[in-house]
């Protein structure tokens, strides 16, 4: 699965594709230079149960670490993953 991140102005998204088909997307807003807000996660029906949302989140976490910024997860899926996964707590905005 290929995951790319695209940013325009104060918005961004991670897009997952497999064999040329869109598998899912996770969107975020950029209110400032020190953190982002994950606001939506969507996985296509054909890819349900294949950890696409988790892979999207890990890609955004990787980007946050590279940019030394924090993440505020307002999306219910992302918020639940931050509560569940210890290995991404370093980028959680508290």
Residue 94 pLDDT exceeds 90? no
Task: Give the pLDDT band (50/70/90) at residue 34.
Answer: very high
> For the chain, what's the residue count?
94
Q: Which residues pair with 27 in a beta bridge?
A: 13, 40
Question: What is the three-class DSSP state of 92?
Answer: strand
Domain borders along the chain are 2-89
Residue 43 pLDDT exceeds 90? yes
Residue 92 pLDDT exceeds 90? yes
Q: What is the pLDDT of residues 6-17, one digit of tens each?
A: 999 999 999 999
Cα–Cα dist 24/75, whole Å? 14
Residue 37 pLDDT exceeds 90? yes
Mean of pLDDT over the chain: 97
Predicted TM-score (pTM) of this structure: 0.96
E strand map for the chain: 2-8, 11-18, 21-29, 35-43, 70-73
Neighbours of 22 (CB within 10 A): 14
What fold characterizes domain 2-89?
Answer: Aminopeptidase (3.40.630)
Cα–Cα dist 47/74, whole Å? 23
Structure tokens at 54: 């988790």
């Amino acid at each position: 699965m290929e995951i790319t991140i695209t940013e325009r102005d104060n918005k961004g998204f991670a897009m997952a594709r497999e064999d040329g088909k869109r598998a899912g997307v996770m969107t975020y807003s950029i209110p400032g230079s020190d953190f982002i807000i994950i606001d939506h996660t969507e996985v296509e029906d054909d890819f349900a149960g294949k950890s696409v949302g988790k892979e999207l989140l890990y890609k955004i976490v990787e980007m946050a670490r590279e940019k030394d910024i924090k993440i505020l997860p307002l999306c219910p899926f992302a918020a639940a993953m931050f509560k569940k996964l210890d290995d991404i707590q370093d980028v959680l905005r508290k």
